[in-house]
């Protein structure tokens, strides 16, 4: 990393953290402070991405995405929620997440990982139930355990120096997987996500979930550090991710709480990200990275709109009956429909491309279980559409006195989000090219030659160098299945 890049990174991370201090004590101007700090992060992340080397541009792309997301969240935050504590917490979360993205040292990653969870143990963001705290705590403990074991085995904690080393063996690998499972909400550790969305502060919780640090751990740590173990054991995690996608999709069919429903759909869709990352195909990994962008923007938009509705129409919204809110808030209805359908693969949006790649990659990698993915996506689409119809369509409720549609501030930021997913869908090459380059990086990480094996057993099954499987490389397996051989 050059000196300038280092300074920029320090600024990108430091500005939100520093801004969180005055924001915590100034109620009147807290949104302005948050806006300025997150805008600075957006600009600096964009500069970093512009001049980043291809080997690190995944970090910069994610930093830019999350900065934009936070900026949008601060703008769309209803006035009722725009307290000094909320803005300070969001800025702290932004700084911590950006630190996690840019971490090149395991200890730094661990600290950032833990720091992102801190606001959710504090009163301002905490959920009412114990499961979110336990889920986040277990994931942190698992990552701390893995880091400790690596250090105890005498390794240097720089991520670059650990690549391909399988440091700490199977125990570390399993601890990292545990951290991913709990942080991502992979089955059976999924319930905390819905609890957090349902009982906590919805927009900051959506930001926490959309950091996708679990997927980051897979892309940045597990694949590069454990290429052989990952190659052998990834199918297991991939099955788990696919099962999660389907399990949550079925679960959400009867969910009536809008917050939980959105959390479930987001979770199911983000499990697809893991399935794609683990597919070991170029299409799957590119699709997963692209889907990361789509899920992040769409779920953030959906949670934001839901919160706006709750503020306007009360918090007792349910998908169990019709509210007819489109009569009162037609633009919010359209934004909700576009974000919702964008999340589940509406043609003309970026998710159509991402899901096309994801489904191809996953089906190619796992022909039988890969079929679960389109089924899960179809169910998620039904759930999202059900929520849309229940909230926005049906008989107009007359109990509301003041019904404001999207305010200009909300309208412009939501329009920007819609344009991003739509224009990204119409002209996806720019996005795909960037994500394809990232997929190459993960591919190269997977191709790292082995230097040390996980066990002392010389016949450990991953002796043959693993390779990222392309469509042609894995065609024979699918052919056998399809032709009944």
Partner 1 sequence: MSAYEAILVFVVSAPGLVFGIFGLLWLLGWVPVERVLSAVTAGTYSVCTVALVVILWGLGASGSSSVVVTFGNWFAVHDYHFPLVLMVDRVSLPFLVMTVILSGLIGRFSATYLHRERGFLRFFLLLHLFAFGSVLAFAAGSLDLLVGGWEIVGITSVLLIGFFQQRPSPVENGLRVFAVYRACDIGLTVAVFAMHHWTGTALFADGLPKLAGTRPAIACLLLLLAAAGKAAQVPFSGWLPRAMEGPTPSSAIFYGAISIHAGAYLLLRVQPMLTASRLASIAVVFIGFITAIYGTITGRASADAKTSLAYASLTQVGIVFVEIGIGWKSIAIAHILGHATVRTLQFLRAPSMLHDYHTIHSAAGGDLSPTGKHLEDLFPERLQLWIYRWALDRGHLDTIIDRWLIQPLMNLSRLLARLDGLGLQQVSTRRQAPAVSMRSIAGQGGK
Q: Which of residues 115-134 bind partner 1 (CB under 8 A)?
A: 128-129, 131
Q: Which of 220, 260, 291, 328 binds partner 1 (CB under 8 A)?
A: 260
Pick the piece of the chain touching partner 1 (CB under 8 A) from 14-22, 69-77, 171-179, 325-333: 325-333
Nearer to partner 1, 26 or 256 (CB): 256
Compute and round to an integer the Cα radius of gyration of the chain. 22
Classify burial at 336, counting beta carbons within 10 Å of its beta carbon; exposed 0-12, middle 13-18, buried 19 or more. buried
CB atoms within 10 A of CB 317: 20
Nearer to partner 1, 150 or 445 (CB): 445
Taking the C-alpha atoms of residue 44 and residue 46, their distance in angstroms, rounded to an integer, is 5
Q: Which of 107, 322, 450, 453 binds partner 1 (CB under 8 A)?
A: 322
267 close to 36: Cβ distance less than 8 angstroms: no
Q: Which of 318, 444, 453, 460 binds partner 1 (CB under 8 A)?
A: 318
Shortest distance, position 223 Cβ to partner 1, whole Å: 17
Residue ranges of E strands in 198-246: none
Provide the token pair at 476. Answer: 């024979």
Residue 352 lies near partner 1 (rule: CB under 8 A): yes
The footprint of partner 1 on residues 433-452 (CB under 8 A) is 436, 439
Q: Which of 395, 409, 452, 467 binds partner 1 (CB under 8 A)?
A: 395
2 close to 56: Cβ distance less than 8 angstroms: no
Provide the token pair at 96. Answer: 């911590």
The footprint of partner 1 on residues 357-386 (CB under 8 A) is 357, 359-360, 363-364, 371, 374-375, 378, 381-382, 385-386
The footprint of partner 1 on residues 263-302 (CB under 8 A) is 282-283, 286-287
Q: Which of 73, 106, 189, 194 binds partner 1 (CB under 8 A)?
A: 194
H-helix segments, 278-407: 282-313, 330-343, 350-365, 372-392
Residue 39 lies near partner 1 (rule: CB under 8 A): no
Q: Which of 319, 329, 342, 434 binds partner 1 (CB under 8 A)?
A: 319
Nearer to partner 1, 156 or 386 (CB): 386
Render 128-172 in DSSP notation, one character per residue.
SSSHHHHHHHHHHHHHHHHHHHHHHTT---BHHHHTTS-TTHHHH
Pick the piece of the chain touching partner 1 (CB under 8 A) from 12-20, 52-60, 89-97, 319-327: 319-327
Shortest distance, position 228 Cβ to partner 1, whole Å: 22
- C-alpha neighbours within 13 Å on the C-beta side of residue 107: 7
313 close to 437: Cβ distance less than 8 angstroms: no
Pick the piece of the chain touching partner 1 (CB under 8 A) from 61-69, 214-222, 236-244, 346-354: 346-354
Shortest distance, position 219 Cβ to partner 1, whole Å: 16
Pick the piece of the chain touching partner 1 (CB under 8 A) from 17-25, 60-68, 80-88, 328-336: 328-336
Shortest distance, position 230 Cβ to partner 1, whole Å: 20
The footprint of partner 1 on residues 199-258 (CB under 8 A) is 199, 247, 250-257
Residues 6 or more apart in contact with residue 407 via CB below 8 angstroms = none
Taking the C-alpha atoms of residue 450 and residue 156, their distance in angstroms, rounded to an integer, is 18
Shortest distance, position 352 Cβ to partner 1, whole Å: 7
Provide the token pair at 344. Answer: 């589940």
Closest CA to 300 of 67, 57, 47: 67
Taking the C-alpha atoms of residue 203 and residue 90, their distance in angstroms, rounded to an integer, is 9
First to last CA, the chain: 52
Pick the piece of the chain touching partner 1 (CB under 8 A) from 86-94, 146-154, 163-171, 465-473: 465-473
Pick the piece of the chain touching partner 1 (CB under 8 A) from 57-65, 110-118, 206-214, 464-472: 464-472
With contacts defined by CB under 8 A, how many residues of the chain interact with partner 1?
A: 79
Pick the piece of the chain touching partner 1 (CB under 8 A) from 93-101, 137-145, 160-168, 477-485: 477-485
Query: In residues, how long is the chain?
Result: 485
Nearer to partner 1, 104 or 356 (CB): 356
Taking the C-alpha atoms of residue 245 and residue 366, their distance in angstroms, rounded to an integer, is 15
CB atoms within 10 A of CB 27: 13
Shortest distance, position 201 Cβ to partner 1, whole Å: 13
Q: Which of 217, 432, 434, 445 binds partner 1 (CB under 8 A)?
A: 432
């Amino acid at each position: 990393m050059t000196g300038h890049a280092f300074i920029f990174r320090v600024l990108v991370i430091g500005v939100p953290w520093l801004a969180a201090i005055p924001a915590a004590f100034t109620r009147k101007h807290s949104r302005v402070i948050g806006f300025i700090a997150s805008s600075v992060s957006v600009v600096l992340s964009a500069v970093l991405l512009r001049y980043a080397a291809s080997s690190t541009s995944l970090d910069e792309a994610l930093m830019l995405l999350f900065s934009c997301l936070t900026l949008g969240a601060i703008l769309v935050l209803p006035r009722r929620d725009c307290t000094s504590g909320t803005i300070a917490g969001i800025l702290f979360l932004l700084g911590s997440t950006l630190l996690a993205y840019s971490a090149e040292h395991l200890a730094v990653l661990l600290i950032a990982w833990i720091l992102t969870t801190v606001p959710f143990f504090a009163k301002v963001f905490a959920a009412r139930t114990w499961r979110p705290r336990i889920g986040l705590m277990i994931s942190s403990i698992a990552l701390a355990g893995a880091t400790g074991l690596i250090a105890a085995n005498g390794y240097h904690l720089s991520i670059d120096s650990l690549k391909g080393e399988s440091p700490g063996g199977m125990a570390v690998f399993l601890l990292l997987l545990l951290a991913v499972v709990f942080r991502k909400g992979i089955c059976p550790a999924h319930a905390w996500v819905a609890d957090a969305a349902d009982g906590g502060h919805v927009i900051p919780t959506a930001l926490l979930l959309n950091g996708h640090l679990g997927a980051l751990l897979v892309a940045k740590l597990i694949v590069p550090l454990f290429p052989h173990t990952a190659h052998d054991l990834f199918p297991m995690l991939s099955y788990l991710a696919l099962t999660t996608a389907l399990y949550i999709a079925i679960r959400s069919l009867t969910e009536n709480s809008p917050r939980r429903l959105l959390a479930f759909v987001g979770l199911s869709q983000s499990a697809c990200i893991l399935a794609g990352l683990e597919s070991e195909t170029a299409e799957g990994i590119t699709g997963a990275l692209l889907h990361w962008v789509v899920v992040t923007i769409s779920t953030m938009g959906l949670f934001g709109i839901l919160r706006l509705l709750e503020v306007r129409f009360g918090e007792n919204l349910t998908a169990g009956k019709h509210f007819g809110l489109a009569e009162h808030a037609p633009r919010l209805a359209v934004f909700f429909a576009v974000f919702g359908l964008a999340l589940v693969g509406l043609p003309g949006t970026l998710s159509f491309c991402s899901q096309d790649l994801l489904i191809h990659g996953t089906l190619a990698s796992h022909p039988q279980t890969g079929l679960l993915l389109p089924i899960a996506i179809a169910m998620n689409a039904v759930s999202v559409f059900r929520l849309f119809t229940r909230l926005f369509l049906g008989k107009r409720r007359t109990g509301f006195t003041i019904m404001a549609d999207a305010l200009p501030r909300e309208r412009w930021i939501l329009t920007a989000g819609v344009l991003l997913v739509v224009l990204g869908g119409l002209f996806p090459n720019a996005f795909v090219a960037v994500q394809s380059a990232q997929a190459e990086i993960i591919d190269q990480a997977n191709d790292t030659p082995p230097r040390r094996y996980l066990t002392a057993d010389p016949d450990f099954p991953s002796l043959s160098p693993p390779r990222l499987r392309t469509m042609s490389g894995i065609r024979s397996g699918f052919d056998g299945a399809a032709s009944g051989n």
